[in-house]
Amino acid sequence: MGMGKRLRHAVVIGTMVLASCAGLAAGADRTEAAELQKQQVEKMFQRNHEKGELNIQFNRLLTKAEREAIYAKYQLTEETVLQDGLFVNVSVESNQQLPTIAARLMEEADIKKAEPNYRLKSLVKPRDSYYNRQWFHSKINAPKAWDRTRGSSQVTVAVIDGGVDTRHPEFKNRLVKPYNVVTGGTSLYPDDHGTHVAGVIGAAMNGAGVTGVAPEVKIMPINIFDGEYANSFDIAEAIIYAADEGADVMNLSFGGYSYSSVEEYAVNYAASKGSILVAAAGNEDTSLLCYPAAFSNVIAVSATDSTDTITGFSNYGRYINISAPGEDIFSTVGGSSYGYASGTSMAAPVVSGAAALILSKNPFLTPQQVMRTLYSSSADLGTKSWDVFYGNGRVDAYRALTMTPEPLGAISLNTNDFKMTGSNNVRAGLTVKGSMRGTVYVEDARGKNVRTLISGALPQKGGFIAYWNGKLANGSFAPAGQYSIVFRVSDNRQSLSKKAAVKVSHHMPPAVKAETASLSLPAGQQMANVKFTINKSLFITAAVYNDQDKLVKTLLTKKALPARSHILSWDGTNGNLKKMPTGTYKLVITGTDLQNKQAKETVFITLT
């Protein structure tokens, strides 16, 4: 039924009621309904939309001939179809008014909705004053990527470089665990190069200055330079420090042509701990291997210009993995200022920022998975597929995010209305993407963990499956009420949780179980204590009888008790508190539920 038909139907019903009560005319209501519908349709077309186009949703899958019959009636042309024709985009003759046609279409029995083909734009466009100078953002589709994530504060990018200007407003409250390898302290000189690199990665989207590729991630600034140079050992120390301090991504905008085993060890160590390493390919227009970019566990980045062409200075060769904008890059510099710079040193942090966005969407991906996502989503430049200048292509942050799987799927339940019988289960499943361990538990309405179902397990066949039979950690059945099945996944860096609600009601027969079938009460003992367990909330009656089944003493009368263990005590007296003679007595415990179903348990007590 279309929108128009729903509106008219509602008004007609209302008219019938009013006419019987007040004698109002149905015709006036229909006029009012038509006017209301007209206003609603006109309101739809006040928003930005494609001229001369409508989007139609049908109530059912129409044949091509059925659709064409409607098009002929209203002079429409089918342009595109989705879902086998359930949705269509049509063009309208230019002399027709779109609101009028839409309203008439919604009168058709087979049409559910006719609406404008709305025009949408990115929801995120930084208002930072120098953003328009940062041409590389649009080149890598960063604005569209920011609609999905601007980066997570749980993701940290280590900038292993010269010092970063820690007082620069673009990094306020976002620098973590700074380290100066040269001095062994935490104070950093505000080096222009290191500050520029850090800004490309993560300058804040704060309405002033510039914006980084991942403007909400944390930055870990580490200085390795003593003057113009850094040595291999200091570089290795910095990489190991960053790995040990939990850096998710490391940017290495430096290099040389000499292989270093200590550097390679540090790189492999960091990769083994889950860090993603990104390095500049070098600026000498040579194919010589440049390290650390040439190490196998490092993403080597060449530099492109605004026309998507390899720059004249960028190194190239068989070790190049990916390319990124690296010429005339505007970013932060020391002294809380801004400036342009060119080089593969500027291209590498563009890729580091994109890697950080990927991890912000799914923090459980391995370095290899992030690399594959970056490469497969890149824009192919130069010769088809991989080549020595562009590697796998120029980085595309938005496409990379679209190819990044969500870490957690939807929780699937076999029921969210658990009618507990004592022999059935709630089955809960969750699909996951990434490398993590999972814990699954049941949470009550107050948020308390009442039963752990899985603890620290690896996913099986791409997910976790848990079963809950309704029992609490103590073995008793859960009282009726609201609960949640909680999935919590984590690795050594991140954790995420997801939960699904389950309503529990009792549909099982009552059960009363005593811990022992018989016991003795010697003359010198004060009490005979009988422990018993009930499987759900019950009204309990308990009484002592003699060997002729005559009532001796009532201990409880229809007392409401919760589902757990309880203790009954008898002191060997009757209702008048008179000691009973030696012999065997029986304690009968009767449990009654709300449906008046009963369960009994008998315990024999011998007085000696």
71, containing H or E segment: helix 64-74
Is the C-alpha dihedral spanning 470, 476, 482, 484 positive or negative? negative
Task: Work out whether strand 481-490 and strand 437-444 pair parallel, antiparallel, or are unpaired.
Answer: antiparallel
Dist CA 166 CA 221 (whole Å):
9
User: Does residue 435 have an active-site annotation?
Assistant: no
Neighbours of 468 (CB within 10 A): 21
Q: Where are the alpha helices (DSSP H) in 297-455?
A: 344-361, 367-377, 397-402
Beta bridge partners, 587, equal 544, 603
Q: Is 507 a catalytic residue?
A: no
Identity of the residue numbered 65: A
608 burial via Cβ count (<10 Å: 0-12, 13-18, 19+): exposed
Token pair recorded at residue 434:
């990434």
Do 284 and 357 meet the contact criterion of CB atoms below 8 Å apart? no
Q: What DSSP element (H or E) covers 467?
A: strand 463-468
Nearest Cα neighbor of 302 from 310, 291, 294 is: 310
Catalytic pick from 345, 360, 377, 378?
Answer: 345
The closest alpha carbon to 318, from 393, 389, 383, 257, belongs to: 389
Task: List Cβ neighbours of 544 (8 Å cut-off, separation of 6 or more).
Answer: 551, 552, 553, 554, 555, 570, 585, 586, 587, 588, 605
Active-site residue, selected from the candidate residues 193, 302, 360, 506:
193
How far apart are alpha carbons 570 and 554 in whole angstroms? 10
d(CA 305, CA 139): 10
The catalytic position among 161, 192, 234, 396 is: 161
> ∠536-538-539 over CA atoms, to 5°?
175
Annotation marks residue 161 as catalytic: yes
What is the phi/psi pair of residue 413, to 5°? -120, 140
User: Token match 């210009």: residue?
Assistant: 305
Q: Please, are residues 331 and 210 in contact by the beta-carbon 8 Å criterion? A: yes
Residues designated as active site:
161, 193, 345
